[in-house]
Amino acid sequence: MSKGLGTLVALLAAVVLAIMATTPPMPQGPQTPPSEFAVARAMPDVVAIAREPHITGTPENARMREYIAARMQALGMEVSTSSGTVGERGTAKRDRWTGRSDPPPTLTNVIGVLPGRNRSLPAVLLMSHHDTVWGSPGAADDTAGIAVSLEVARAIKAGGGAERDLVVLVTDAEELGLEGAKQFFAEHPLRTRVGAVINMEARGGGGRTTLFQTSSDNGNAVALFADVARRPGGSSLAAYIYSVLPNDTDLTPVLAGSYTAYNFAFIGRSGLYHSPLATPARLDQGAVQDMGAQVLELSRALLNSPAMPAPAPDAVFFDLFGRIMLTYPVWAGWIMLIVAAGALGLTVREQPDLRALGSGAGRMAGLLLVAAALYYLLNLLSGADGPTNYYDRLAAIPRLEAMAALGGMAAALVLLGGALSPAGKVGAALPLLLIAAAAQAIAPTAAYFIVIPVMLAALALLSLQRSGGTAARAFAGAVAASVVGYMLALGHQVMQGVGPTMPMAAALPLALGALGLLPVWHGVTSRTARISAAGLLILAMAVALWVRLDPVAETVAVYADTKR
């Protein structure tokens, strides 16, 4: 296989892996075995509940609660409700939506309990919320979570039941400040019988479902999920990022207690978040299937476990292209860094070239800085240079991703597109090795996405330097495909999560992907790199202008300012 063809094969394989990582499973139909999750059985609940908006305290909200209670009763659950009054801040938010000043609304949680064989054991609680924001039917946020809870309860019962009680809590007033969850976990007697909580959320209308938050000391809790999930999604990187952002879900009051806790969500089709177009017909059924399958597998394991997962040191965890969940203790990251440093040192030990090392390091550092600056400027060009409509920016995420991809390729071609010597490639790894070490020291559960690619790239460079045979080239190609594929998927997730406001965060996945490709990259001429980069940059600017000049998206929340 020619050198150029090998690089092309690695890139094509990377694209395939990225698609695998970011694509939800196929929706399962009504013929699915009764003990398994099938979105076809859950969608009638979505259709019935999300027929129109139902904010807390409205007649439609009351109708929808009655429907949920009736569904729970049909499943043989013990059904009850708990009520409270929405506080001042939640009431003020409701009044801003409606344009009126009405008395504080009453919130009503709906609670169903599917009895287990041993009711003295701590129960497992599934949580979602039934209220919506003003003007949105909320098919994803959070009707999908309700439908998943009901279908999981049905599947558990169809599979012969479980040892522990299964509690389905459908809270009210989540959109008004998590009021229903706060009320339940502060006052309800059932809270003391719960051992584990699984919350379900959505910020969009599709995409992969990921585990993005857990309770502290999650080592055993994550290991259990990794053991039972057949198509897992999630990472300790997502959990770390979420922990430092000012976000809350109904799981927030849970984390103040001693529960084993998991938080799942999907955030694809972001323009549908809080949208008047968030209807059942626009909901990605694959995303609901993904959420339901993972939650059922985890719930069944918890319900039949002799004991709840005991607290253990936080673990590093991440799904590998949506096929398996890898976990390891945080100290293993230091071993990987030592391996990476050793491999890089051995690669250049016999022919050290300080000038090439420095040039490679400067090029990689330059890529990080130039890409971040370019993403910032392109984002300004796309309309972020003044007041923006949050929901309109969410709708623009697919185009912002294209903008970032084009701009990133342009920067990479200019700075790393030429041929580099082995020492130059080792030099290119050095800035990322330093960043990996800093991340391992500061945020060890989140550092894996830097540590592992640097280690793999270092081993690929060493193998090519020592032998250069077929096995070494195959290993380097596999490393390139895996690292680039993972970084494509991670870049997609980064842009979905913070792309409208912080696209600069995608510069690090770009640099790591470039490093993974370097062992099999043989370079292009300077002229080719410059011309290609110029064309890519022009396209990136064109996409940015498209976003800027496009009318406000029809998906924008009705209560949001319709101006940009």
Residues 201 and 213 in one domain: yes
pLDDT beyond 80 at 564: no
Confidence of residue 396 (pLDDT cuts 50, 70, 90): very high
Strands of the 106-114 sheet, one edge to the other: 78-85, 106-114, 166-171, 123-129, 194-202, 260-268, 206-214
Q: For residue range 409-459, what is the model confidence (pLDDT) as tens digits?
A: 999 999 999 999 999 999 999 999 999 999 999 999 999 999 999 999 999
Query: Residue 1 and residue 474: Cα distance in Å, rounded?
Result: 10
Instruction: Report the first-to-last Cα separation within the chain, whole angstroms.
Output: 52
Q: Is 555 helix (H, G, I), strand (E, B) or coil?
A: coil
In a domain, 306, yes or no: yes
What domain range is 525 assigned to? 3-19+331-549
- How many Cβ atoms are within 10 Å of 531's Cβ, its own excluded? 13
In a domain, 116, yes or no: yes
Residues 242 and 227 in one domain: yes
Tokens 């699915």 sit on residue: 32
Do 150 and 293 meet the contact criterion of CB atoms below 8 Å apart?
Answer: no
In a domain, 280, yes or no: yes
- Predicted confidence at residue 562, as pLDDT, reads 54
Residues 310 and 338 in one domain: no
Q: Which of 313, 329, 345 is the last residue of a domain?
A: 329
Residues 290 and 149 in one domain: yes
In a domain, 352, yes or no: yes
In a domain, 433, yes or no: yes
Q: For residue range 25-63, what is the model confidence (pLDDT) as tens digits?
A: 999 999 999 999 999 999 999 999 999 999 999 999 999
Do 364 and 515 meet the contact criterion of CB atoms below 8 Å apart?
Answer: yes
pLDDT beyond 90 at 230: yes
Q: Which of 289, 313, 329 is the last residue of a domain?
A: 329
Do 356 and 421 meet the contact criterion of CB atoms below 8 Å apart?
Answer: yes
Residues 305 and 412 in one domain: no
Whether cis (ω within 30° of 0) applies to the bond prior to 142 is yes
User: Pairing between strand 206-214 and 260-268?
Assistant: antiparallel
Residues 104 and 173 in one domain: yes
In a domain, 279, yes or no: yes
pLDDT beyond 60 at 322: yes
Count of domains for the chain: 2
Residues 227 and 337 in one domain: no
Q: Is 81 helix (H, G, I), strand (E, B) or coil?
A: strand
Residues 354 and 292 in one domain: no
In a domain, 25, yes or no: no
- Predicted confidence at residue 352, as pLDDT, reads 86
In a domain, 110, yes or no: yes
Query: Residue 360 and residue 352: Cα distance in Å, rounded?
Result: 13
Residues 140 and 37 in one domain: yes
* Percent of the chain whose predicted confidence (pLDDT) is above 70: 99
Token duo for residue 32? 């699915």
Whole-number average pLDDT of the chain: 97
Q: For residue range 271-287, what is the model confidence (pLDDT) as tens digits?
A: 999 999 999 999 999 99
Residues 208 and 312 in one domain: yes
Residues 72 and 130 in one domain: yes
Residues 311 and 432 in one domain: no
pLDDT beyond 60 at 491: yes
Q: For residue range 133-192, what is the model confidence (pLDDT) as tens digits?
A: 999 999 999 999 999 999 999 999 999 999 999 999 999 999 999 999 999 999 999 999
Q: Which CATH number covers residue 52?
A: 3.40.630.10
Q: Which residue blocks in 159-313 are alpha helix, DSSP H?
A: 179-187, 219-228, 236-244, 251-254, 285-303
Mean per-residue pLDDT for 450-477? 96
Q: Which of 312, 329, 346 is the last residue of a domain?
A: 329
